[in-house]
Amino acid sequence: MRKSAFAVLILVILGNVALWALWNRPVDERSWAGAITGVAYTPFHADKSPSKGDKASADDIEKDMAALEGAVKAVRTYSTTDGSEMVAAIAAKHGLPVTAGAWTAGKPEIDEPELAGLIKLARANSNVRRVLVGNEAILRADLTVPQAIEYVKRVKKKVNVPVSIAEPWHVWLKHPELAEAVDFLAVHLLPYWEGVPVDQSVDYAMFRYNELKQKFPNKHILIGEIGWPADGPWRRGAEASQVNQAKFIRNFLNVAAQNKLDYFIMEAFDQPWKREIEGTAGTSWGLWDYQRNPKFPMIGGVQEIRNWEVKCATAVALGFLPLVFFLWRRSDLKIGGQIFYGALIQAVASVLVFTVSAASAAGLALTTEIAWGLLIFCQLVLFAVMLIDGMELTEVVWQHKFKRKFVPCSAAPLPNAAKVSIHVPCYNEPPHMVMQTLDALARLDYPNYEVLLLDNNTKDPAVWRPVEEYCKKLGPKFRFFHLDNWPGFKAGALNFGLAQTAPDAEHIAVIDSDYQVHPDWLKATIPHFNRPEVGFVQSPQDYREWEHDLFQRMTNWEYAGFFHIGMIQRNERNAIIQHGTMTIIRKSALEKVGRWGEWCITEDADLGLRLFEHGYEAVYMPESYGKGLVPDSFSAYKTQRFRWAYGAVQILKHHWRQLSPGAKELTAGQKYHFITGWLPWFADAAHMIFGIAGILWSIGLMAFPKYFEFPPNVFMIPTLSVFAFKVGASLWLYEARVRCGFWDKVGAAVAGMALTHTVGRAMWLGIFTSGRPFVRTPKCENQPALMQAFLMAREELALLVSLWGAALAIVMVFGHENRDAFMWSGLLVVQSLPYLAAFITALINVFPTIGFGKSKPGAADDAVGAGAGD
């Protein structure tokens, strides 16, 4: 590896490590060096759940008490029937007093065994110092206050220890009669659930504590639960995080020591099973994690991600080989490009490591596990597309020079120049438009060519007869063929034309029936066939008469991006997409590879790939030598792109063996471009599913909150970032290669985005079906009526309204207390942007004062099955 590449390697890796270190720099908080007065304890490890009827085991409890011995002075339990009844006896062996609790629910079949077990525990174990006859049962409305008082009285008669019930502070303030019935107040102070910011939370808890102290001066107050979760949703100003948990616990322990408070920290160990009833936050209140490891130190700095160094090293290792491979192979790039793309590789590796490590948390609900799996897969697709887009951007902006740059030939052709047979397929096209195409062909500055007009299945003689007569007027170079009930779509017509081609023709040129070619087209391109390895020469599609119609202006510049960015980069690896106009093919090569493929609705791209598989080379000349017409309607625009996308899937399915890693028919560069070039369309297919899933998930969040929770920011933020990257990269690429103004760049981006749903549908149908009919792209359509805007974008509009409705509903239901709701709603809105772009594009198409449109005579309807045009 060159010294400069090695320097880039070290720089990028050090930059990644520095970002990890900066993000995880220790936060210094008030330290605590003493023992903890008490912790709430539930004896369930990660593989068990009381909601499933599991029982705690004595071995697990023994291990837990051994871990707590020396760190805490007492424990509190919540039940006497789920295995928790064994805690007192085991805790006694470790010198730990117990405040025992019974779980009451207002149901005799639950309450009676619990109360009997509580009485038994208090009598049998001298280390049971206090008992609680319920936990937030009044808050849940499982018990009425009179019922709770009755339970307290029953237990007090049968035990010799203080008796109470555990409830939040406001229950005690609201029901002073309850306070009179108990021996002490067991109060829960949990500022997180009340949305109090962590910096104010300890003060807030003390305010509520003192409020109770003033209200009930003669009652001892036990803080039965107090703590902060390390993970979970935002609740107004309260953020669940590892640093915030440490901050709250340390501050409270110091305040508790100063004020000699009696308390139990919520809680000893993380409880994954609580996800089912309390979401993510419920699982992460422990001072120790579910594996019984301390989550943060009580002295010194606290880091948000424990063992971040391991994760950072994993990310660096994951991205190392791709980074080395990139730097080794791409010495043709400037240093800036090597740094940019190298940093992108390492960034993607880091985010993936962070995502997967977050997804590996134990105790996920089934729906959440499924969601995590799908989200990780979608994120892999997104990042693959991002790396592909990033590579294209890197090559465009930072490439030293082009390896395969072809320039037009300017020398006058000799009288004996190779003969070219120009094939013009058409179907039901306006005669005046086709005549203009023929006039342009008649003006070609080339001595040896013929023109075959292939009218394929046009039913109305009034449409094709004038073209036939016009060909006769142009002379013997122009031949007209009318085909009735001819199979094979455009490819079938072209194969017929191949059979009618003059025997001495060496090359076949194809243009669409709306194209007006430049007189120099053949003169500038045919000499490139002097090299026998050249199979075809391609010029870009270009367009005319779009300047005064905003819709057509947008689509023109959207097309321009592919031909002036993507095709130029593909040409560097001899991997261009052949498109069925402005293309010239060596006749012998066309016959050798089996003529045009009538099985495929994108016969042009299929032919180009087959030519590559047979070892032929392509020449791409970015200069424009012909201009056609852009689609007149958004519907036609979508129809054309649907065909291209569906055909792409057909080609991938048909040529998968040649595109596989071990196949030798194609070069690595050709495989790369033909796979990655269409991968963004698969991302559009994933976007379609993700949008529908987002709507359904939002319904689940509102209707079934027990089973659905907001996806974590570890997914939402990267998804939004990838979208922002794609938009920024697109504008950057246009700035580098496409000569248009800023608003034309924006218009092109909107037009391209408007096709997302169409492409997504085509990809899914292409995966699961075959044999979709060829649908031509009509030209010279009349401007559609205003209602057509809604009809042309009806599916997109339905998804747009659904996503916006879901986003609004989520904000209304959860936004008052959960900041994650705004993040999720924002993600839904971002998902809706392609559908909004589709509706805006349709409106621009039909609204005269926006689109500056003008009707064009001779409109042709969409036709299915027989068309031979573009």
Domain-located, residue 441: yes
For the segment 765-781, the average pLDDT, to the nearest whole number, is 68
Position 361 confidence tier, pLDDT thresholds 50, 70, 90: low
Same-domain check for residues 195 and 280:
yes
Q: Angle at Cα 526 formed by Cα 521 and Cα 529, nearest 5°?
A: 150
Same-domain check for residues 573 and 618:
yes
Q: Given the DSSP bridges, would you call strands 419-426 and 220-226 parallel, antiparallel or unpaired?
A: unpaired
User: Who contacts 801 (Cβ-Cβ below 8 Å, separation ≥6)?
Assistant: none
Same-domain check for residues 235 and 130:
yes
User: Who contacts 568 (Cβ-Cβ below 8 Å, separation ≥6)?
Assistant: 402, 620, 622, 737
pLDDT recorded at residue 246: 95
For the segment 231-249, the average pLDDT, to the nearest whole number, is 90
Kindly state the helix (H) or strand (E) to which residue 652 belongs, with its residue range.
Answer: helix 634-654
Same-domain check for residues 17 and 88:
no
Same-domain check for residues 49 and 148:
yes
Domain-located, residue 137: yes
Domain-located, residue 635: no
Higher pLDDT, 466 or 372: 466
pLDDT, tens digit, 9 for 90 and up, residues 79-125: 999 999 999 999 999 999 999 999 999 999 999 999 999 999 999 99
Cα(587)–Cα(601) distance, integer angstroms: 21
Among 250, 276, 302, identify where a domain stops. 302
Same-domain check for residues 354 and 450:
no
Cα(233)–Cα(235) distance, integer angstroms: 6
Kindly state the helix (H) or strand (E) to which residue 396 belongs, with its residue range.
Answer: helix 366-398
Cα(434)–Cα(464) distance, integer angstroms: 10
Residue 82: what are its φ and ψ, rounded to 5°? Answer: -110, 15
Residue 521: what are its φ and ψ, rounded to 5°? Answer: -50, -60
* C-alpha distances in Å from residue 563, one per residue of 256, 568, 569: 70, 7, 10
pLDDT, tens digit, 9 for 90 and up, residues 468-496: 999 999 999 999 999 998 998 899 999 99
Cα(721)–Cα(716) distance, integer angstroms: 9
For 622, counting Cβ atoms within 10 Å of its Cβ (0-12 exposed, 13-18 middle, 19+ buried), the class is middle
Alpha helices, H only, 477-602: 489-500, 521-525, 550-561, 567-571, 587-592
Same-domain check for residues 688 and 743:
yes
pLDDT recorded at residue 723: 86
Residue 764 pLDDT greater than 50, yes or no? yes
Asked whether 718 and 382 are in contact (CB, 8 A), the reply is yes
Kindly state the helix (H) or strand (E) to which residue 471 belongs, with its residue range.
Answer: helix 461-474
Among 251, 284, 302, identify where a domain stops. 302
Same-domain check for residues 353 and 296:
no
Domain-located, residue 407: no
Asked whether 543 and 629 are in contact (CB, 8 A), the reply is yes
DSSP structural state of residue 36: B
Q: 51-55, 600-604, 720-724 — which one is most confidently predicted on average?
A: 600-604
Range of 209's domain? 33-302
Among 568, 595, 630, identify where a domain stops. 630
pLDDT, tens digit, 9 for 90 and up, residues 725-747: 989 999 999 999 999 999 999 99
- The total number of structural domains in the chain stands at 4
Q: What is the CATH number of the domain that holds 127?
A: 3.20.20.80
Same-domain check for residues 625 and 544:
yes
Reported in sequence order, the residue ranges of 266-418 that DSSP labels E, i.e. its strands, are: 301-302
Query: Which residues make beta-bridge pairs with 494?
Result: none
Range with lowest mean pLDDT among 566-570, 644-648, 785-789, 849-853: 849-853
Asked whether 224 and 76 are in contact (CB, 8 A), the reply is yes
What is the C-alpha R_g of the chain? 36
As a three-state string, the secondary structure of 808-851 is: HHHHHHHCCCCHHHHHHHHHHHHHHHHHHHHHHHHHHHHCHHHH
For the segment 785-797, the average pLDDT, to the nearest whole number, is 84
For 353, counting Cβ atoms within 10 Å of its Cβ (0-12 exposed, 13-18 middle, 19+ buried), the class is buried
Cα(542)–Cα(132) distance, integer angstroms: 81
Whether the bond into 267 is cis, omega within 30 of 0? yes
What does the block give as tokens for 59?
């071995």
pLDDT recorded at residue 225: 98
Q: What is the CATH number of the domain that holds 479?
A: 3.90.550.10
Residues 506-528 as b/e (b if ≥16 CB within 10 A, e otherwise) read bbbbbbbbbbbbbebbbbbbbbb
Domain-located, residue 578: yes
Asked whether 125 and 156 are in contact (CB, 8 A), the reply is no
Position 853 confidence tier, pLDDT thresholds 50, 70, 90: very low
Domain-located, residue 255: yes
Domain-located, residue 282: yes
Cα(629)–Cα(673) distance, integer angstroms: 28
Residue 245 pLDDT greater than 70, yes or no? yes
* C-alpha distances in Å from residue 811, one per residue of 164, 322, 821, 827: 40, 42, 6, 12
Same-domain check for residues 496 and 609:
yes
Same-domain check for residues 393 and 540:
no
pLDDT, tens digit, 9 for 90 and up, residues 806-843: 999 999 998 777 778 888 999 999 999 999 999 999 99
User: Who contacts 480 (Cβ-Cβ below 8 Å, separation ≥6)?
Assistant: 453, 455, 467, 468, 471, 472
Domain-located, residue 694: yes
Alpha helices, H only, 168-265: 169-174, 176-181, 198-215, 242-259
Nearest alpha carbon to residue 330 among 266, 389, 250, 394: 394
Cα(654)–Cα(466) distance, integer angstroms: 40
Size of the chain in residues: 870
Same-domain check for residues 711 and 752:
yes
DSSP track, 67-118: HHBTTBS-EE---SSSSGGGHHHHHHHTT--EEEE----S-HHHHHHHHHHH
